[in-house]
């Protein structure tokens, strides 16, 4: 799956001369936490809710409350935005975008194709996508966890045969490699079935190490 499959294309933007107070109102109205800053059709910055909340003129400590509010009312996003923010292309794989975000400590990326802003993708978008992929919102779905030694990992036909035999619908399957202090892979299945206990028992009888079913 690629970024274009989960990004938001109806991107709300502001210009450099947008007042900080107006940017806050825009974020509140659209329930968003980030605003790309545009100069004509070019992306020149990114402003976040945190930046807006932290915004204050540098000489504020020597000003009275009325002077400070006056300066804040005149402050524009250009004064506080991140200039030339990191961007990603719409064709990037979702997992690569997530890894890049974790590496740089970013919670979102403007999406650019051929120098044009085409979307915005955030950690929340990726979480929503994973929720759909894993079938978490399927009300009748239940989870089965199986531990498999590395040398045996890959023998999934037996698992699928048992699910087919029990007319269980496989909603999703996720595999996690062993961590440094483990030797087993984790196979996490989410299925829709009438009798999960019978499936779990049959898997166990066939030698699969079922560690959770429910």
DSSP state of 48: E
Query: What are the chain's domains?
Result: 3-130 (3.10.580.10), 136-213 (3.30.70.260)
Instruction: Give Cβ neighbours of residue 54 (< 8 Å, ≥ 6 apart).
Output: 80
User: Which tokens hold the place of 88?
Assistant: 């990603």
DSSP-H helix ranges across 78-195: 94-104, 123-133, 157-165
Residues present in the chain in total: 214
Distance from CA of residue 174 to its chain's centroid?
A: 17
- pTM metric for this prediction: 0.68
Place of tokens 């900080």: 20
pLDDT digit string (tens) for the chain, length 214 residues: 889 999 999 999 999 999 998 999 999 999 999 999 999 989 999 999 988 888 755 544 565 566 666 667 788 999 999 999 999 999 999 889 988 988 988 889 999 999 999 999 998 888 777 776 665 665 567 889 998 876 665 678 889 999 999 999 888 888 888 777 777 888 888 888 888 899 999 999 988 899 988 8
């Amino acid at each position: 799956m690629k970024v274009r499959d989960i990004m938001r294309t109806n991107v709300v933007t502001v210009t450099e001369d947008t007042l900080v107070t107006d940017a806050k109102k825009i974020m509140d109205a659209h329930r968003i936490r980030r605003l790309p800053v545009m100069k004509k059709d070019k992306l020149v910055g990114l402003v976040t809710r945190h930046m807006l909340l932290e915004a204050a003129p540098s000489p504020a400590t020597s000003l009275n409350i009325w002077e400070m509010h006056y300066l804040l009312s005149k402050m524009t996003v250009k004064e506080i935005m991140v200039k030339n923010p990191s961007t990603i292309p719409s064709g990037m794989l979702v997992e690569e975008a997530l890894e890049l975000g974790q590496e740089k400590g970013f919670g979102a990326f403007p999406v650019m194709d051929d120098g044009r802003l085409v979307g915005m993708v955030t950690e929340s978008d990726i979480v929503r996508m994973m929720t759909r992929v894993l079938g978490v919102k399927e009300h009748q779905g239940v989870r089965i966890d199986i531990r498999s030694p590395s040398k045996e990992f890959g023998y999934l036909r037996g698992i699928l045969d048992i699910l087919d035999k029990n007319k269980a619908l496989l909603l999703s399957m996720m595999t996690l490699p062993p961590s440094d202090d483990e030797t087993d892979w984790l196979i996490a299945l989410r299925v829709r079935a009438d009798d999960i206990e019978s499936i779990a028992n049959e898997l166990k009888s066939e030698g699969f190490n079922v560690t959770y079913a429910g």
